[in-house]
Amino acid sequence: MTTHLSNQEFVDAVDLVLASDRVAHLTVCAACRAEVEALRAVLADVSQGGDVPEPSPLFWDHFQSRVRAEVQSEAAVPARLSWWATLGSARTFLAAGATVAAAVIAVSLYTGGSVEPGSSAAVSVGETSELLGPEDGFAGLDGVEWGFVTDVMETLGPDEARDVLVPTRHAMDAAFESLTTAERDAFVRLLTAEMAEGLE
């Protein structure tokens, strides 16, 4: 007597694709035949339980809109960065922050804020120090402001510092683009306050 059908062969038997030599076994083995019949009966029951209620016709239009909106919001979320990419991002942010700071300073000077030569103007900023001087008008900053600027400048190379101090329109746009919404809001607040102060 041959061996009983395996699990896979039972499925083949239900599908009517059992190999002929195994069909021969099935014809003589009541136990295997009973198992196949039982499986077919369960399948017949299962086929009764598969109804899916059809959603409203409006649902599909709504669904497509939802997918489109979700895809848009997903695309708006920046991809998770690796640690080295994060470092690069932080550096970019720093450069952007310095550019913004320079813009604030420029606005402050342009709007005629109180400009008193400050002793802190001579603070060394490494290789960038030759770019700065009281004649550049940066002397109007108080100690805290100047400290912030010099801290930022010390982290930048000469080229980056030059970009910060003489930002092109493109660089400004790029810097502003790289800010988050909250940072942009903060920047606008800062800028507005500076301008208001200058007009007083």
From candidates 4, 23, 33, 39, binder to another protein by CB under 8 A:
39
**Should residue 19 be labelled a site residue for another protein when binding is judged by CB under 8 A?**
no
Output the smallest distance, CB 85 to another protein, in A. 14
**In this structure, what token pair is assigned to residue 17?**
């694709």
Output the smallest distance, CB 17 to another protein, in A. 10
AA identity, residue 44? A
From candidates 19, 28, 34, 71, binder to another protein by CB under 8 A:
71
Closest CA to 10 of 25, 30, 32: 32
> In the Cβ-directed half-sphere of 12, how many Cα atoms lie within 13 Å?
13
**Should residue 63 be labelled a site residue for another protein when binding is judged by CB under 8 A?**
yes
**Residue (10 or 146) nearer to another protein, CB:** 10
From candidates 45, 116, 130, 159, binder to another protein by CB under 8 A:
45
Do 117 and 172 form a contact (C-beta atoms < 8 A)?
A: no
Output the smallest distance, CB 37 to another protein, in A. 11
Interacting positions 110-169 with another protein (CB under 8 A): none
**H/E segment holding residue 61:** helix 57-76
Which among 6-14, 81-89, 117-125, 127-135 is the span making contact with another protein, rule CB under 8 A? 6-14
How many of the chain's residues bind another protein (CB under 8 A)?
34
Sign of CA dihedral 109, 115, 117, 118: negative
Closest CA to 111 of 192, 175, 172, 25: 192
Closest CA to 111 of 193, 34, 2: 193
Output the smallest distance, CB 25 to another protein, in A. 17
**Should residue 66 be labelled a site residue for another protein when binding is judged by CB under 8 A?**
yes
Kindly report the number of other CB atoms within 10 A of residue 11's CB atom.
14
From candidates 16, 58, 73, 159, binder to another protein by CB under 8 A:
73
Residue 114: partners with Cβ closer than 8 Å, 6 or more residues away: 140
CA–CA distance, 95 with 83 (Å, rounded to integer): 18
From candidates 20, 30, 31, 50, binder to another protein by CB under 8 A:
50
Q: Which residues of this protein are in contact with another protein, per CB under 8 A?
A: 7-8, 10-12, 38-39, 41-43, 45-53, 55, 59-60, 63-64, 66-68, 70-76
